[in-house]
Amino acid sequence: MKQFVYGFIFAIVSIIGLGSCTEEAFDIDKVNKQTILVFLPWTGGNSSIGLTGALSNNIDSICAGIKDKKGLNNTRVLVFFSNNANNSTLFDLTYNDVTKEVSRTPIKTYEGSAYNSANGFADILNEVRQNAEALNYALIIGGHGCGWSCADDWINYPNQAKSFNTQQTLSYDTPFSGIQFGTDPDNPTTRFFGSVDRKENSIDLSTLVEGIKQSGIKMQYILFDVCYMGNVETAYELKDVTNYLIATSSEIMAKGIPYRSMWSYLNGTTPNYSSLVNGIVNFYKNSTTPYCNMAAIDCRQLDALANVMKEINQKYTLDTTIPLDSIQPLDGFLPHLTYDMAVYVDSLKPNGYLKEQFSNQLKKTVKAAAHTDCAYTALRQYPEVTIKIKNYCGLSISDPSQHPVAIRGKEKTGWWKATHE
């Protein structure tokens, strides 16, 4: 199945045994405890720069967080950054104890977009491990995203995803101006697709998963600083390559994660997921764009969640008299593509036992979740640009969606197969 992540980042987390059959001693306090890969591929087109400015600011924010902590504390941070559609650099962030500054030391340059293949992404991960081997690895992905959906499921993708109508009439090269560079204060910028016009710069989610598997690394966490990745279909796809998924179920504003203030929660062998999630949402609550939801998902619990959901699906279907608008939507598509998972299951009206089973397993799966009163969408025109969030369990689901992309693609997802077949 071709699932994709649009202009993303991948990170790695695994435990590499340091023990050996030799008696050579080592100082555990000097061992690199964690390596974080910040993956920032190209998000623009042939003549537009996409999120380049916002992603560059994110790197500056990470550097500021490192300086605030006065160093990396046995952690390495490597950044893959695309300067344009055809040139990218992998560099190392290092802290100087004397100057108290963070420098960016180039490790390797890349031409083209080979990183969009499983082999290409695995090569990057292997380069990271070769230069910064660690006990644990983590991945931060910055750019664009649309959850589990496949590029082939969109007509003239990505422009249809960015249009305000659902008739899919735009040509592939039609620009969309409402996301990246709008100056209207009533239409702030988000990270939903933006100016990505080059299909060759898209990355299938399944391709990324395969790349991580090829590297032999399992992530400690993958943080998607992109839109729409906090869905159960994506979490299920990632369950074998990461312990935790941190993502939003809606659109995230273009400024992304406030890395400087959140860095202490990310830069550790045992990240504080609850503080991270609540800190991100509180940042936006106190900003001029108070729109955000965020959750930390324990992907090791996805098989158990799928088992409960399969039992529910075998006994219950959504009553056709229940309007879909009564189920909490979490996106700006019309018709909606994603809905709050807990509200959807409640709408199926399972018996007390199954409802309790689902509720208990959902609590084990969602480590932390928080939200503002509204979500923002750049897919609609002012004033209909906000979605009231009354319920947010931390995961969205596309099972009830009648969006053309859902109709074409949801039954191909691993989640659907695990819960309906």
Q: How far apart are CA 169 and CA 233, in angstroms?
A: 28
pLDDT at 382: 77
Q: Is the Cα torsion angle 293, 240, 213, 37 positive or negative in sign? A: positive
pLDDT tens, position by position, 83-96: 998 899 999 999 99
- Give 23's DSSP letter: -
Per-residue pLDDT band at 182 (split at 50, 70, 90):
very low
Q: How far apart, in Å, are the Cα atoms of 341 and each of 142, 280, 406?
A: 25, 22, 15
pLDDT tens, position by position, 56-92: 999 999 999 999 999 998 899 999 999 998 899 999 9
One-letter identity of residue 72: L
Query: Which DSSP string do the residues of 222-265 spell out, in sequence order?
Result: EEEESSS--BHHHHHHHTTTEEEEEE-SS--BTT---HHHHHHH
pLDDT tens, position by position, 102-117: 999 999 999 988 888 9
pTM above 0.95? no
Per-residue pLDDT band at 149 (split at 50, 70, 90):
confident
Model confidence at 13: pLDDT above 50: no
Q: How far apart are CA 331 and CA 349, in angstroms?
A: 24
Q: How far apart are CA 56 and CA 59, in angstroms?
A: 5
Of the candidates 250, 343, 326, 347, the residue with the CA atom closest to the CA atom of residue 295: 250
Model confidence at 162: pLDDT above 70: no
pLDDT at 18: 35
Other CB atoms within 10 A of residue 75 CB: 23
Q: How far apart, in Å, are the Cα atoms of 93 and each of 30, 37, 42, 59, 135?
A: 18, 11, 20, 10, 18
Of the candidates 392, 393, 389, 394, the residue with the CA atom closest to the CA atom of residue 376: 389
Per-residue pLDDT band at 301 (split at 50, 70, 90):
very high
* Mean pLDDT (whole number) for 280-285: 98
Spell out the domains of the chain, with CATH numbers in brackets. Answer: 5-16+30-299 (3.40.50.11970), 301-420 (no CATH)
Q: How far apart are CA 160 and CA 379, in angstroms?
A: 10
pLDDT at 178: 28
SS3 190: strand
Q: Which residues pair with 24 in a beta bridge?
A: none
Q: How far apart are CA 402 and CA 76, in angstroms?
A: 45
Per-residue pLDDT band at 176 (split at 50, 70, 90):
very low
Of the candidates 356, 368, 366, the residue with the CA atom closest to the CA atom of residue 397: 366
Model confidence at 179: pLDDT above 80: no
